[in-house]
Amino acid sequence: MGFFYDVTRLAIWLGALAALFVPLEYFFAERRQPIWRREALNDLVYYFLNGLILSVLLAWPVALLGAAVQHLVPGALLRAAGDLPLWLRVIAALVLGDIGAYWGHRWSHELPFLWRFHSVHHSPTEVDWLTNTRAHPLDLVFTRFCGLVPLYVTGLAQASEAGAALPIIVNTVGIVWSFFVHANVNWRLGWLEQIISTPSFHRWHHTNDAMRDRNYAAILPVLDRVFGSLHLPKTRPAEYGIDGDMPADLPRQLTQAFVRRN
């Protein structure tokens, strides 16, 4: 019953996302490319696969993190964070969560072993809203765990009702926004692009040229400015993808990270 409920929930969300982004990408396309592009079926499988198993894979690392925090973080800090107004905790959680996710994302580019998993997400040569779903489950676990660490260490995420909701809020905002920034739309939002991530900002993160490995932030471009990884020109990338080949079939995409490379 639980499996059927989860599949139904994911299908409804997928339908809502498609109803929003397919027309937007048709009328405001940054690049002309098929709505049903190459490897879209793989991306749909990734959508359901990650939607079904990610919470299970994250459960143990998060439980261990919570236990470690209870033993290592001063109780006064945890109580002080718990006494903050809910609105302030939400804002702080979004900012700190984005900082943690920024570094998890950046390490996934800079450390060869992590890149093996993350390269799955960067392999498409055509990028649109559905590209957001293409990600190795272990890559997602690592990045999301990095985003949760600051929330637990600072006491923003706790066993209380409000504290337990914060990780859900942060993850939900991040997931929804990730679909938007991957969208194949030609919008430029002016000064807002300096404040919040946009498709034009994230598009440069997927480029496969000399300016790749930039724009790691999920929501706040100021993090890239602070840490020296911001690239936001008025031009558009010439190409997307990765150096080398990625297996076309999903099973080999999932296992290629574990294969020793010469």
Give CA–CA dist 226/228, Å, rounded: 6
- Residues 142-185 have pLDDT tens digits of 999 999 999 999 988 875 555 567 888 888 898 999 999 999 99
- What is the reported pTM? 0.93
Give CA–CA dist 159/165, Å, rounded: 9
Closest Cα partner for 184 from 202, 204, 199, 201? 199
The region that residue 244 occupies, defined by phi over 0 for left and psi between -120 and 50 for alpha, beta otherwise, is: left
What pLDDT sits at residue 21?
A: 96
What pLDDT sits at residue 159?
A: 54
- Residues 227-258 have pLDDT tens digits of 999 999 988 898 999 998 899 999 999 999 98
DSSP type of residue 207: B
What pLDDT sits at residue 40?
A: 92
In degrees, rounded to 5, the angle at the alpha carbon of residue 172 between the alpha carbons of residues 166 and 175 is 140
- Other C-beta atoms closer than 10 Å to the C-beta of 49 total 16
Any idea where the domains of the chain sit in the sequence? 2-258
Give CA–CA dist 97/90, Å, rounded: 10
Q: What are phi and psi of 166, to 5 degrees?
A: -60, -45
Lowest mean pLDDT among 49-53, 57-61, 68-72, 227-231: 68-72
Give CA–CA dist 249/255, Å, rounded: 10
* Residue 250 structure tokens: 């999903």
* Residue 108 structure tokens: 């996934």
What pLDDT sits at residue 161?
A: 52
Percent of the chain with pLDDT over 70: 96
